[in-house]
Structure 1
Amino acid sequence: MIDPFGRKINYLRVSVTDRCDFRCKYCMSEHMTFLPKKDVLSLEELELVSAAFIRKGVRKIRITGGEPLVRKGIMELFRNLGLYLKSGELDELTLTTNGSQLATYAEQLYDAGVRRLNVSLDTLDPYRFQDITRWGNFEKVMGGIKAAQAAGLKIKINTVALKGFNDHEFDDLIKWTGAEGMDITFIETMPMGAIDEHRSDQFLPLSEVKKQLAGSWSLSPSSYQTGGPSDYFDVAETGSRVGFITPLSHNFCESCNRVRLTCTGMLYMCLGQQDNADLKAVLRGPDGLHALDAAIDEAIGRKPKGHDFIIDRKSDDKPAVPRHMSVTGG
């Protein structure tokens, strides 16, 4: 699949649920209203759409949420998609998780063909963790990370950089991840969905973070690539890597190779735009799978050049897009 700007689309992110067992302050409100189950694609439908993308050249699928591992029966989807790894039609099957359910599912994920995953973790302080996640259990997440490593899964930590919250912990996070044999990626907070706080108070440009870290660590540009938007640097002192995802201060749109499928079957060609294609309506319509390929082709033909994220009190801190990140998938 080639979009209007000549970019090869070979990466699909699939959100399997908008539900989460955390309520991270930069992501969602504490009292969220989640989708009724009838609006959510079944696991069979998620597999059918994923298979259509694989036929069209997608080589990597990332399962996201909400928290994907709270979806009932989710391992069935992992096992079925894992068959495409065995056949060679898919290069990688992975996921992004908050880690809360990893102790339960780590071995099953490895058996399904998952070899690496991302764990979202913004602080090493249990009290700060409780504060930012509202409902999270720090020790449970740490136990999940240990279980995943024991199962043979390679872990990368994703940390949202938040001014005044965790900006004093970045060195500790790099030291910890390096000691544990993990990489880490810092991410700028994104203006998606209404939350209970001002994002302009939270926003920390990663250009500032890089300067801060360069004073403590020997960072050199890395050739490592995962197919995602992270810009990696090797850390000489730890032997691990640190990545930076900068959707606001320096977007990565020129190399975008991915599209996102929501749990409701809406295909978003850009995280930061509202244009979408309703694949659920196509899939459940009279022509079913026959019409799905054409609908995907039409959608890819509308993929925009890039997004226009901005965080600014001048705009009353209104989100760039009204849907929450948990709806679109991380």
Structure 2
Amino acid sequence: MNAHSQPPAAAAEPAPLIDPFGRAISYVRVSVTDRCDFRCVYCMSEHMTFLPRRDLLTLEELDRLCSAFIARGTKRLRITGGEPLVRHDVMTLFRALSRHLASGALEELTLTTNGSQLARFASELVDCGVKRVNVSLDTLDPGRFRALTRTGDHARVMAGVDAALAAGLRVKLNAVALKGVNEDEFVPLVRFANERGMDMTFIEVMPLGELEGPDRIDQYLPMREVRDRLAETFTLTETDYRTGGPARYMRVSETGGRVGFITPLTHNFCESCNRVRVTCTGTLYMCLGQEDAADLRAPLRESADDAPLVAAIEAAIARKPKGHDFVIDRATQGPAVSRHMSMTGG
């Protein structure tokens, strides 16, 4: 290199999206479908009316939307649903997004699934750079599983979990803690997960969408009760382990594994929230528990130039609220928001 030569300039880091409370938004959860092959009793109605396909973003539009977020500093991208793996040709999207992993612009591409399709897709997900997945599993009992999911096949999900582990994916199991339903399974779930090298995370039921059947106050179990029940069997110690999401983890001395707790009601995680959610129709929700939203489908479809889309994203982040107002009690009638979790994206 001669005296007048300059080394090539390093690529500039994209300016991060900063909300009004100084939080950098680096984690985006993108739903690819509102459809699901299960009808979990705490998540959706038994007879759901799903969106017409014309309202959904195409896979190409989803790629473009995700890429716009990545260009503005998104480091973690989670694909959700409904059940994302029931979306026709969804692996086309994973293959397209894998280029951002290869370039280093994206640090992690992950997936939340009910596990029903994992046996089909686990190896292909690994080929696309996915290293870990979250699998929703509220019970180890096939009969109880059928009652909770209304349509789910427990053996198929177990085969999916086995296939994911065999393919080299790190698997985390998520269970919604349901009073009087799966309380007797908290310890067995932790043992089952940890003995197979998986983390186990428990989640408080959230007031999203109108449901038939039991009131959520009758389903609701605070995480402190879950921890207390586990502490009767296990020695739990604090850990600073994080995955970028809202779970707080503890080490289980007897298994050598971890158990996580997600507490949207008893101890919300809003102050450190670095996440936004985009629905399969291109609606951006800045907070899971608020109705304020931004339409990203219109700028996507109105212009081949990404500038209007990026402007819409920036304007939405500029009004991200400080937190949600989730409440579950006898005096509070109806859900905090009317949309079901399957519509927002898990």
Task: Give the TM bin, normalised by the shorter chain.
Answer: over 0.9
| Other structure's SS at 2:184 match | coil
Instruction: Answer with 2-11 or 277-286: which moved more.
Output: 277-286
Which secondary structure state, in structure 2, belongs to the residue aligned with residue 22 of structure 1? Answer: coil
Indicate the residue corresponding to 2:21 in structure 1: 5
Corresponding position of 2:95:
79
1:237 aligns with 2:254: yes
Structure 1: 5+ residue stretches without partners: none
| Equivalent residue number for residue 271 of structure 1 | 288
**Is 1:281 the equivalent of 2:327?**
no
Q: Could you say what the CA RMSD is over the residues aligned between the two structures, in angstroms?
A: 0.8
Residue in structure 2 matched with residue 204 of structure 1 by the alignment:
221
Report the Cα distance in structure 1 between the residues aligned to 2:35 and 2:91, rounded to whole angstroms.
16
1:144 aligns with 2:165: no
Tell me which of 21, 35, 39 is aligned to 1:19.
35
Residue 290 of structure 1, CA deviation: 2.2
Is the radius of gyration larger for structure 1 or structure 2?
A: 2
What's the secondary structure of 2:18's corresponding residue? coil
Q: Which residue of 1 aligns with 2:207?
A: 191
2:11 equivalent in structure 1: none
One-letter identity of the residue aligned with 2:340: H
1:314 aligned counterpart, secondary structure: coil
Unaligned runs of 5+ in 2: 1-16
- Structure 1 moving runs of 4+ over 6 Å: none
Aligned: 1:216 with 2:269: no
Aligned to 1:168, the other structure's residue is in SS state: helix
- CA shift at 1:286, angstroms? 4.4
For 1:110, the equivalent position in structure 2 comes to 126
Shift of 1:287: 6.8
User: Which of the numbers 254, 265, 270 marks the counterpart of 1:248?
Assistant: 265
**TM-score normalized by the length of structure 2:** 0.94
Q: Give the deviation of 1:313 after TM superposition.
A: 2.5
Matched residue type, 2:245: G
Q: Which residue of 2 is the match for residue 297 of structure 1?
A: 314
Deviations 1:236-292 (A, max 9, x none): 111111000000111000000010000000000000000010000111124752201
2:119 match: secondary structure = helix
Aligned sequence identity (%)? 63
Aligned position for 2:342: 326
> Using a 3 Å threshold, how does the CA distance of structure 1 residues 111 and 23 change in structure 2: closer, same or farther?
same
Question: What CA distance in whole angstroms lies between the structure 1 residues aligned with 2:202 and 2:305?
Answer: 41
CA–CA separation in structure 2 for the residues paired with 1:160 and 1:173: 12
Q: For 1:234, what is the secondary structure of its paired residue? A: strand
- Give secondary structure in 2 for the equivalent of 1:52: helix
Q: Partner letter of residue 168 of structure 1?
A: D
Opposite residue 303 of structure 1, the aligned amino acid is K
Task: Tell me the distance in 2 between the aligned counterparts of 1:313 and 1:30.
Answer: 24
Alpha-carbon distance in structure 2 between the residues aligned to 1:289 and 1:8: 21
Whether 2:85 is the aligned partner of 1:69: answer: yes
SS of residue paired to 2:277: strand
What residue identity is the alignment partner of 1:329? G
Q: Indicate whether 1:41 and 2:88 are aligned.
A: no
Residue 7 of structure 1 deviates from its aligned partner by 0.6
3-state secondary structure, aligned to 2:331: helix
Counterpart pick for 1:60 among 65, 76, 79: 76
The separation in 2 between residues aligned to 1:240 and 1:47, in whole angstroms, is 35
